Structure 1
Amino acid sequence: MHYFKQLVTTLSLAITVVQAVTNFGGIAVSNSPSTPSYTCRSQAQWNDIANQARNNGFRSIRIIGFDCEALPRAASAAASAGLTVLAGIWVDGSMAQSAGNIRRDLDTFRAAYNQFGSGRFAGLTIGNEVGDSAVNIINKVNESRNFLRSVGVNTPVSTVHTWVFIRDNRVLCNADFVGANAHAFFDGNFAAEQTGDFVFKTVVPNLKSACPGREIRITESGWPTRGPANGRAVPGLDQARSALLNLNCACRDDRSVTVYAFEADDQIWKPENDWERSFGIFGKFNLNGEVFAPC
């Protein structure tokens, strides 16, 4: 019995060590599982995905919409797994066109904040790559933040856009943090094994120059496993493994930047193309053994 206890303790320590080399801050999770049509992830499915995130060393999950009761379900799952949530309000169209929905979702966030506590939420983003002017976007971010502050909610508030859009529209730096999506694959000039260099030697320096002194969060970065090549960027399982390994190691070298891996599972319901449908990570390879352990 004494030997068994020692063995369990040793194994637990080994697992802890493996998880400790996960340098990603979090992982993005869709509100739908990988189904042919968009369906709502159940509470049990949220619990499962949060546990997978925790077991693979991630400390946070990111959502980008509150449909499907995603916010309370994700927050509940995160609370059970000891994770935080980077919550996102989905904006369809312009900020003006979505004003009513944004106001409703702010009330939803306020309720979740009161239920799960301030420490459960790493931040709140208003929109993801919204097709509107930078001025309109930041005005809505500020309006939303002011409302939340007036009702006692102190969660950092920002928006998320492509890193190039932020670089070229520095007014977006005037949020509580800079939320940028940065995919080496869509640039087309980088191979999978250069993903970390792309993020930390191209994207991050540009954002730090555009937004000096601001906290930077790379809200999604990953690599697809299916579809045609995009210049030097070639989809594939081996390529995705290489991209995540390289990015994980690069994250280790700049702890001031939090990176969310994209994304938990494939989203085969997406209508765009095989690229968009195949960014999923879980179940494709052993993260702790094949991606995180080398660092």
Structure 2
Amino acid sequence: MLFSSLYKAAILAASLVSAAPAHVHNEHKRNLVIVTETETVVVTASAPLVIAGASTTVSLDTVNTDFAQSSSYATIVKQAQVTGSAAVVDTTTLSSNTEVDSTETAVAVTTSVADTTSTSSSSSTSVSTSTSSSTSLSKGKGITYSPYTAAGGCKSLAQIKTDFERLTDYEIIRLYGVDCSQVEFVLQAKSSSQKLFLGIYFVDAIEAGISEIASAIESYGSWDDVYTVSIGNELVNDGEATVAQVAEYVSTGRSALTAAGYTGPVVSVDTHVATINNPGLCSISDYVAINAHAYFDYYTEAEDAGSWLLLQIQRVWSACGGAKNVYVTETGWPHQGDTYGVAVASLEAQASAISSIVSVVGDDAILFNAFDDLWKADGAQNCEKYWGINH
């Protein structure tokens, strides 16, 4: 595995800073994640998240605005429980020197209402009506690819070959699964210099998935075409598996891959927050593979996406004891959707974010996504369909 000198230099100096189709492989989740000096609490809610505090009760979508109107210091999650269809958390008021960090929704700890108000913004929709491809985007080392039509069907070999004519600048192509004959088709569509980051998405069919990969490799390529194989995607973050279960899945996958003749890296991908909160994930993979998106950090502008991402790499590396390299397997910025704090979803913002990411951590990140995923539901911030870099 080759990692950029910029990444290594930064890591050495780093210190820890306190009705869609079934193949929804990479839909983003809404997590409220609060990190303090003493504990971390992650609450995942598909239904509205309600925060009950001493002086205010707010929903997830309006948490920052409503806290700005509170007369007390911002509150921080101390205990969490799921009741019915909504996650409800109890809060406790803390002093202003407590640092609060979040991937997707951060409750700012400030000393006055004015301070919070200055960084708060109610959610509004910024929809780009342009379909022009005139916005120039920087090219990174790798990019993710989904083999589905706008209606959710499987793209043909001819369609995938056409797509790949626009992806020749990327060294690594990440796939999430084996359905739709995607491994077979992509092996035929890619150039000889491109490598594949393959994935087993359904962990109840690991050996069957690896058998399909091996068959495609035998017919249309070699194991030299494979950069990495991942077993599972964001399983801990989504509450679908424990760290121990992920370890079992990776062990099963590694054994099947070895038997098929593969000797390269095997990983399980999760979010950077899930990895920080569950450092047991670090020892499972041959290197630490994370998904991280600056857009879901309420206080990060597009032009700062690269710096934000480097900080998350540093935090994960520190949480993992500096024992393994950290590689970002999914990061990007939507070109359409809601404005989320200072994060604007537009073509211009996407270009700025991608340029920043490529400039700061380009050799250590796979961009998300090659094309828009119009088969998805609108999802969080109404942006799930619109992460495509090739417009």
1:281 is the counterpart of 2:386: no
Aligned residue in 2 for 1:109: 213
Aligned residue in 2 for 1:221: 331
- Of structures 1 and 2, the larger Rg is shown by 2
In 1, Cα distance between equivalents of 2:387 and 2:260: 38
Q: Give the TM-score, by structure 1 length.
A: 0.79
In 2, Cα distance between equivalents of 1:271 and 1:22: 27
1:24 is the counterpart of 2:135: no
Whose helix proportion is higher, 1 or 2? 1
Q: Deviations along 1:62-119, whole A, 9 cap, x unmatched?
A: 11011110111112212x353111011112xxx4xx2xx2221011122233331121
Aligned residue in 1 for 2:281: 172
- Cα offset, 1:142, TM superposition: 1.6
Give me the identity figure in percent.
28
In the TM superposition, 1:1-295 aligns within 5 A as: 24-33=140-149, 35=150, 37-54=151-168, 57-78=169-190, 80=191, 82-91=193-202, 95=203, 98=204, 101-115=205-219, 116-130=221-235, 131-174=240-283, 175-200=285-310, 202-211=311-320, 212-251=322-361, 255=363, 258-273=364-379, 274-283=382-391
In 1, Cα distance between equivalents of 2:324 and 2:165: 31
In 1, Cα distance between equivalents of 2:182 and 2:230: 15
Q: Equivalent residue of 1:76, what SS?
A: helix
Q: Deviations along 1:102-157, whole A, 9 cap, x unmatched?
A: 22101112223333112100111111112211221122102210222234221311
In angstroms, what is the RMSD of aligned CA positions?
1.8
Residue correspondences, number = 246
- Cα offset, 1:158, TM superposition: 0.8
Q: Give the TM-score, by structure 2 length.
A: 0.60
- Cα offset, 1:184, TM superposition: 0.2
Q: Does the 8 Å contact 1:225/1:237 carry over to 2?
A: yes
Whose strand proportion is higher, 1 or 2? 2
In 2, Cα distance between equivalents of 1:142 and 1:126: 9
In 1, Cα distance between equivalents of 2:329 and 2:209: 20
Q: Does the 8 Å contact 2:229/2:267 carry over to 1?
A: yes
